[in-house]
Amino acid sequence: MQIYGTNISSRLLLGTAQYPSPTVLKQAIEACGTEIITVSLRRETADGSGAGFWELLKDSNCKVLPNTAGCHSVQEAVVTAQMARELFGTNWIKLEVIGNSDTLQPDVFGLVEAARLLCADGFKVFPYTTDDIVVGEKLLEAGCELLMPWGAPIGSGQGLRNPDALRAMRAHFPDITMIVDAGIGRPSDATRAMELGMDAVLLNTAVAKAGDPVLMAQAMAQAVEAGRNGYNADPMEPRDMAVPSTPTLGMAELI
């Protein structure tokens, strides 16, 4: 998989928030083999209190994808992205512009505008968006080279609420990298997303809040790989009627 010209082997992107301890986070990163980890910029770490956490991220040898989590306006998202670029030394940014505090649904109008400004400023934007084709088109026109539609609200663990919409997006944008972001709760959710033809999955809470985050991280990595292999294997279509796997021709007849 190529993301903004960078070759990536692992199709699982992992968030770094809410883990029981830095040690568990480090073990989870190693267990799933991810190559990209997301991290939100916290302004209060400007005094150096987050130095230990930053060292842990650097020691992971993963590509860091800062995000604008918690931003509710275009200006706030753009300023946060610019601060993240200075702090983390990367022009990659996961762009979030939240429109509703309860569902954490993206403000798609602000998202497109912020994406346009950041792309013009040299950022490689990973837009957290809805499963709407028209919004996807506007984001690509703004300069984004990939799309990150939600599976369900952030941290809800509901899985894929609208698989038909994701399937339609995949068909409409066959050559665009698409990463399902948010809502994944179980390994089966990740597998299902990959079976729809998604290129990768980004998740955080499902691993961080599991009873055994390290084991869940490993399970998610296996689920993503299984789903991708299943998609590439061109699975059979569902049938309305039963079809015997063993032919009836040549069976013994009782007289």
Q: Indicate the annotated binding residues for 1-deoxy-D-xylulose 5-phosphate.
A: 155, 182-183, 204-205
Closest by CA to 149, choosing from 104, 180, 191, 121, is 180
One-letter amino acid at 237 equals E
Of the candidates 26, 58, 63, 94, the residue annotated as catalytic is 94
Is 58 known to be catalytic? no
For residue 230 the two structure tokens come to: 């299943």
50-65 per-residue burial string, b: 16 or more CB within 10 A, e: under 16: beeeeebbeebebebb
Phi then psi for residue 30, to 5 deg, are -70, -35
Residues marked as binding? Answer: 155, 182-183, 204-205
- Mapped onto helix, strand or coil, the DSSP state of residue 109 is helix
Q: Between the CA atoms of 34, 36, 38 and 43, what dihedral angle is there, to the nearest 10 degrees? A: 130
201, 190 in Cβ contact below 8 A? yes
Q: Catalytic residue positions?
A: 94
